[in-house]
Amino acid sequence: MNLTLLSLLIAFAGYSVQNISQASQKLAFLKMKDNRRTGVLIWGGATIGTGLSTLILLAAVSIGQVSLVGAMAGTGLVSMTIYSRFFIKQHVSRNEIVGIGLILVSAVLIGVFANEVSASVIEIKLLTMKLIIVSLIYGILWIIFNRKKRILAVLLGGFAGALGGFVSQFQKISTSVTGDGELITGSFMGMAALLNPFTLFWILLSMSSMIVLQFAHKSGRPLRVIPAFSANYILVPVIGGVTCFGENLHPVQWIGVGIIIIGVLMITIKSEDESCGNR
Protein backbone atom coordinates (compact mmCIF):
# COMPACT_ATOMS: atom_id res chain seq x y z
CA MET A 1 0.00 0.00 0.00
CA ASN A 2 1.47 3.39 -0.98
CA LEU A 3 1.66 6.24 1.53
CA THR A 4 -0.95 8.36 -0.28
CA LEU A 5 -3.59 5.66 -0.01
CA LEU A 6 -2.59 4.97 3.60
CA SER A 7 -2.98 8.67 4.41
CA LEU A 8 -6.52 8.61 2.96
CA LEU A 9 -7.48 5.68 5.18
CA ILE A 10 -5.98 7.39 8.23
CA ALA A 11 -7.79 10.62 7.30
CA PHE A 12 -11.09 8.73 7.07
CA ALA A 13 -10.48 7.32 10.56
CA GLY A 14 -9.52 10.75 11.92
CA TYR A 15 -12.52 12.59 10.51
CA SER A 16 -14.81 9.75 11.65
CA VAL A 17 -13.51 10.06 15.23
CA GLN A 18 -13.86 13.85 14.99
CA ASN A 19 -17.47 13.87 13.75
CA ILE A 20 -18.62 11.04 16.02
CA SER A 21 -17.11 12.91 18.98
CA GLN A 22 -18.99 16.05 17.95
CA ALA A 23 -22.25 14.07 17.77
CA SER A 24 -21.50 12.58 21.19
CA GLN A 25 -21.00 16.06 22.65
CA LYS A 26 -24.49 16.99 21.48
CA LEU A 27 -25.80 13.76 23.03
CA ALA A 28 -24.01 14.62 26.28
CA PHE A 29 -25.84 17.93 26.60
CA LEU A 30 -29.17 16.13 26.14
CA LYS A 31 -28.21 13.50 28.74
CA MET A 32 -27.24 16.19 31.27
CA LYS A 33 -30.88 17.21 31.52
CA ASP A 34 -31.84 13.77 32.86
CA ASN A 35 -28.60 12.52 34.41
CA ARG A 36 -25.85 15.08 34.87
CA ARG A 37 -23.17 12.53 35.79
CA THR A 38 -23.80 10.42 32.69
CA GLY A 39 -23.84 13.51 30.52
CA VAL A 40 -20.54 14.75 31.93
CA LEU A 41 -18.89 11.36 31.37
CA ILE A 42 -20.08 11.23 27.75
CA TRP A 43 -18.93 14.81 27.19
CA GLY A 44 -15.51 14.04 28.68
CA GLY A 45 -15.06 10.99 26.46
CA ALA A 46 -16.19 12.94 23.40
CA THR A 47 -13.77 15.77 24.19
CA ILE A 48 -10.90 13.28 24.45
CA GLY A 49 -12.03 11.84 21.12
CA THR A 50 -11.87 15.28 19.52
CA GLY A 51 -8.28 15.71 20.69
CA LEU A 52 -7.39 12.23 19.49
CA SER A 53 -8.81 12.97 16.04
CA THR A 54 -6.41 15.91 15.72
CA LEU A 55 -3.43 13.62 16.27
CA ILE A 56 -4.79 11.06 13.79
CA LEU A 57 -5.22 13.77 11.14
CA LEU A 58 -1.71 15.03 11.90
CA ALA A 59 -0.44 11.55 11.07
CA ALA A 60 -2.48 11.50 7.85
CA VAL A 61 -1.28 14.85 6.55
CA SER A 62 2.34 14.12 7.48
CA ILE A 63 2.55 11.24 5.00
CA GLY A 64 -0.01 12.34 2.42
CA GLN A 65 -1.14 15.28 0.33
CA VAL A 66 -2.83 18.21 2.05
CA SER A 67 -5.37 18.50 -0.74
CA LEU A 68 -6.47 14.86 -0.54
CA VAL A 69 -6.58 14.75 3.26
CA GLY A 70 -8.66 17.94 3.17
CA ALA A 71 -11.02 16.43 0.61
CA MET A 72 -11.62 13.48 2.93
CA ALA A 73 -13.13 15.81 5.56
CA GLY A 74 -16.60 15.01 4.30
CA THR A 75 -16.18 11.26 4.82
CA GLY A 76 -16.42 11.61 8.59
CA LEU A 77 -20.07 12.59 8.19
CA VAL A 78 -20.78 9.10 6.87
CA SER A 79 -19.58 7.53 10.12
CA MET A 80 -21.37 10.19 12.15
CA THR A 81 -24.68 9.58 10.35
CA ILE A 82 -24.45 5.82 10.87
CA TYR A 83 -23.49 6.38 14.51
CA SER A 84 -26.42 8.75 15.02
CA ARG A 85 -28.80 6.24 13.47
CA PHE A 86 -27.85 3.22 15.58
CA PHE A 87 -26.66 4.79 18.85
CA ILE A 88 -28.60 8.06 19.15
CA LYS A 89 -31.62 6.59 17.33
CA GLN A 90 -31.98 9.52 14.93
CA HIS A 91 -33.94 9.10 11.73
CA VAL A 92 -31.85 8.91 8.55
CA SER A 93 -33.59 10.57 5.61
CA ARG A 94 -33.45 9.60 1.95
CA ASN A 95 -31.27 12.64 1.20
CA GLU A 96 -28.80 11.56 3.86
CA ILE A 97 -28.62 8.05 2.42
CA VAL A 98 -27.94 9.47 -1.05
CA GLY A 99 -25.35 11.83 0.42
CA ILE A 100 -23.60 8.92 2.15
CA GLY A 101 -23.52 7.00 -1.13
CA LEU A 102 -22.06 9.97 -3.03
CA ILE A 103 -19.34 10.51 -0.44
CA LEU A 104 -18.35 6.85 -0.34
CA VAL A 105 -18.20 6.57 -4.14
CA SER A 106 -16.15 9.78 -4.34
CA ALA A 107 -13.75 8.60 -1.65
CA VAL A 108 -13.16 5.41 -3.64
CA LEU A 109 -12.53 7.43 -6.83
CA ILE A 110 -10.02 9.65 -5.03
CA GLY A 111 -8.28 6.59 -3.62
CA VAL A 112 -8.16 4.70 -6.92
CA PHE A 113 -6.45 7.61 -8.68
CA ALA A 114 -4.11 8.40 -5.78
CA ASN A 115 -0.45 8.55 -6.76
CA GLU A 116 2.70 8.41 -4.65
CA VAL A 117 3.50 12.13 -4.87
CA SER A 118 5.38 14.30 -2.41
CA ALA A 119 5.17 18.07 -2.29
CA SER A 120 7.94 19.60 -4.42
CA VAL A 121 7.80 22.95 -2.67
CA ILE A 122 6.18 24.55 0.34
CA GLU A 123 5.21 28.19 -0.08
CA ILE A 124 5.00 29.29 3.55
CA LYS A 125 4.86 33.01 2.74
CA LEU A 126 2.08 32.48 0.20
CA LEU A 127 0.13 30.33 2.65
CA THR A 128 0.49 32.93 5.39
CA MET A 129 -0.58 35.68 2.99
CA LYS A 130 -3.65 33.66 1.99
CA LEU A 131 -4.59 33.21 5.64
CA ILE A 132 -4.28 36.96 6.22
CA ILE A 133 -6.30 37.81 3.09
CA VAL A 134 -9.07 35.32 3.92
CA SER A 135 -9.24 36.67 7.48
CA LEU A 136 -9.41 40.26 6.23
CA ILE A 137 -12.15 39.45 3.71
CA TYR A 138 -14.29 37.72 6.33
CA GLY A 139 -13.53 40.54 8.79
CA ILE A 140 -14.70 43.20 6.34
CA LEU A 141 -17.83 41.21 5.49
CA TRP A 142 -18.51 40.80 9.22
CA ILE A 143 -18.40 44.58 9.67
CA ILE A 144 -20.70 45.12 6.68
CA PHE A 145 -23.30 42.50 7.63
CA ASN A 146 -22.96 42.66 11.42
CA ARG A 147 -26.63 43.49 11.92
CA LYS A 148 -27.99 40.93 9.48
CA LYS A 149 -27.98 37.75 11.54
CA ARG A 150 -28.87 35.37 8.71
CA ILE A 151 -25.92 36.48 6.60
CA LEU A 152 -23.66 36.81 9.64
CA ALA A 153 -24.30 33.18 10.62
CA VAL A 154 -23.21 32.00 7.18
CA LEU A 155 -20.12 34.24 7.24
CA LEU A 156 -19.02 33.09 10.68
CA GLY A 157 -19.64 29.46 9.76
CA GLY A 158 -17.60 29.90 6.59
CA PHE A 159 -14.79 31.65 8.45
CA ALA A 160 -14.66 28.90 11.07
CA GLY A 161 -14.42 26.30 8.29
CA ALA A 162 -11.71 28.28 6.50
CA LEU A 163 -9.62 28.51 9.67
CA GLY A 164 -10.08 24.77 10.17
CA GLY A 165 -9.00 24.25 6.56
CA PHE A 166 -5.73 26.08 7.18
CA VAL A 167 -4.99 23.80 10.15
CA SER A 168 -4.06 20.78 8.00
CA GLN A 169 -1.77 22.95 5.88
CA PHE A 170 0.22 24.19 8.85
CA GLN A 171 0.20 20.64 10.22
CA LYS A 172 1.91 19.59 7.00
CA ILE A 173 4.56 22.25 7.49
CA SER A 174 5.10 21.28 11.12
CA THR A 175 5.91 17.70 10.07
CA SER A 176 8.19 18.69 7.19
CA VAL A 177 11.87 19.48 6.99
CA THR A 178 10.91 23.01 5.93
CA GLY A 179 9.16 23.48 9.25
CA ASP A 180 12.05 21.89 11.15
CA GLY A 181 9.79 18.96 11.95
CA GLU A 182 10.00 15.26 11.21
CA LEU A 183 7.57 12.93 9.50
CA ILE A 184 5.33 10.95 11.81
CA THR A 185 6.65 7.79 10.21
CA GLY A 186 10.19 8.75 11.11
CA SER A 187 9.81 9.61 14.78
CA PHE A 188 8.18 8.14 17.83
CA MET A 189 4.58 9.45 17.83
CA GLY A 190 5.89 12.46 15.89
CA MET A 191 7.34 14.14 18.97
CA ALA A 192 9.67 16.21 16.80
CA ALA A 193 6.65 17.68 15.01
CA LEU A 194 5.04 18.61 18.30
CA LEU A 195 7.93 20.81 19.39
CA ASN A 196 8.13 23.62 16.84
CA PRO A 197 6.41 27.02 16.33
CA PHE A 198 4.27 25.78 13.44
CA THR A 199 2.66 23.22 15.74
CA LEU A 200 1.73 25.94 18.22
CA PHE A 201 0.29 27.97 15.36
CA TRP A 202 -1.99 25.23 14.00
CA ILE A 203 -3.17 24.49 17.53
CA LEU A 204 -4.12 28.17 17.91
CA LEU A 205 -5.84 28.06 14.52
CA SER A 206 -7.81 24.99 15.56
CA MET A 207 -8.93 26.67 18.80
CA SER A 208 -9.86 29.84 16.90
CA SER A 209 -11.95 27.80 14.47
CA MET A 210 -13.89 26.21 17.34
CA ILE A 211 -14.48 29.59 19.02
CA VAL A 212 -15.70 31.25 15.82
CA LEU A 213 -17.98 28.26 15.17
CA GLN A 214 -19.60 28.74 18.59
CA PHE A 215 -20.32 32.39 17.73
CA ALA A 216 -21.75 31.23 14.41
CA HIS A 217 -24.18 28.87 16.14
CA LYS A 218 -25.29 31.70 18.42
CA SER A 219 -25.88 33.96 15.43
CA GLY A 220 -28.14 31.65 13.46
CA ARG A 221 -29.59 28.20 12.86
CA PRO A 222 -27.25 25.26 12.16
CA LEU A 223 -29.05 24.94 8.79
CA ARG A 224 -27.11 28.02 7.64
CA VAL A 225 -23.90 27.50 9.62
CA ILE A 226 -22.93 23.86 8.97
CA PRO A 227 -23.00 23.84 5.13
CA ALA A 228 -20.88 27.03 5.00
CA PHE A 229 -18.45 25.53 7.52
CA SER A 230 -18.18 22.19 5.70
CA ALA A 231 -17.65 23.68 2.23
CA ASN A 232 -14.81 25.94 3.44
CA TYR A 233 -13.34 23.16 5.58
CA ILE A 234 -12.93 21.01 2.45
CA LEU A 235 -12.12 23.58 -0.25
CA VAL A 236 -9.47 25.62 1.61
CA PRO A 237 -6.99 22.74 2.10
CA VAL A 238 -7.69 21.34 -1.39
CA ILE A 239 -6.88 24.68 -3.04
CA GLY A 240 -4.02 25.27 -0.60
CA GLY A 241 -2.47 21.90 -1.38
CA VAL A 242 -2.36 22.74 -5.07
CA THR A 243 -1.20 26.37 -4.78
CA CYS A 244 1.10 26.24 -1.76
CA PHE A 245 2.44 22.67 -1.72
CA GLY A 246 2.88 21.94 -5.41
CA GLU A 247 0.38 19.07 -5.34
CA ASN A 248 -1.48 17.85 -8.42
CA LEU A 249 -4.88 16.20 -8.51
CA HIS A 250 -6.10 13.89 -11.25
CA PRO A 251 -9.19 15.28 -13.07
CA VAL A 252 -11.22 12.39 -11.63
CA GLN A 253 -10.08 13.38 -8.14
CA TRP A 254 -11.32 16.94 -8.74
CA ILE A 255 -14.67 15.46 -9.71
CA GLY A 256 -14.56 13.38 -6.53
CA VAL A 257 -13.94 16.49 -4.42
CA GLY A 258 -16.94 18.20 -6.00
CA ILE A 259 -19.20 15.20 -5.43
CA ILE A 260 -18.05 14.95 -1.79
CA ILE A 261 -19.10 18.56 -1.24
CA ILE A 262 -22.51 17.82 -2.77
CA GLY A 263 -22.85 14.77 -0.52
CA VAL A 264 -21.87 16.81 2.53
CA LEU A 265 -24.48 19.44 1.71
CA MET A 266 -27.16 16.77 1.27
CA ILE A 267 -26.36 15.31 4.70
CA THR A 268 -25.93 18.54 6.64
CA ILE A 269 -28.75 20.60 5.17
CA LYS A 270 -31.35 17.84 5.52
CA SER A 271 -30.32 16.63 8.96
CA GLU A 272 -30.06 20.13 10.39
CA ASP A 273 -33.38 21.14 8.84
CA GLU A 274 -35.11 18.21 10.47
CA SER A 275 -33.45 18.85 13.85
CA CYS A 276 -34.59 22.44 13.79
CA GLY A 277 -38.07 21.37 12.91
CA ASN A 278 -38.21 19.07 15.93
CA ARG A 279 -37.56 21.83 18.38
CA nearest neighbour of 245 among 125, 119, 128, 64: 119
Residue 234 has pLDDT above 80, yes or no: yes
Give the pLDDT of residue 1: 58
Tell me the average pLDDT across 219-243.
83
Mean pLDDT, the chain, whole residue set: 82
Interacting residues of 201 by C-beta distance below 8 A, sequence separation 6+: 170, 174
Q: What's the mean pLDDT in 201-216?
A: 88
Q: Are 134 and 243 in contact (CB under 8 A)?
A: no
Domain range holding 109?
A: 3-277
Give me the percent of the chain exceeding a pLDDT of 90.
Answer: 28
Predicted confidence (pLDDT) at residue 214 exceeds the cutoff of 90: no
Task: Give CA–CA dist 46/51, Å, rounded.
Answer: 9
Name the pLDDT band for 194 (thresholds 50, 70, 90): low
Residue 84: predicted pLDDT = 79
Higher pLDDT, 136 or 73: 136
Q: Is the pTM of this model over 0.85?
A: no
Q: In this predicted structure, what is the pLDDT of residue 27?
A: 77
Average pLDDT value for residue range 134-157: 89
Instruction: Please count the structural domains in the chain.
Output: 1
List all residues 6 or more positions away from 98 whose beta carbon is below 8 Å from its beta carbon: 263, 266
| CB atoms closer than 10 angstroms to residue 179 | 20
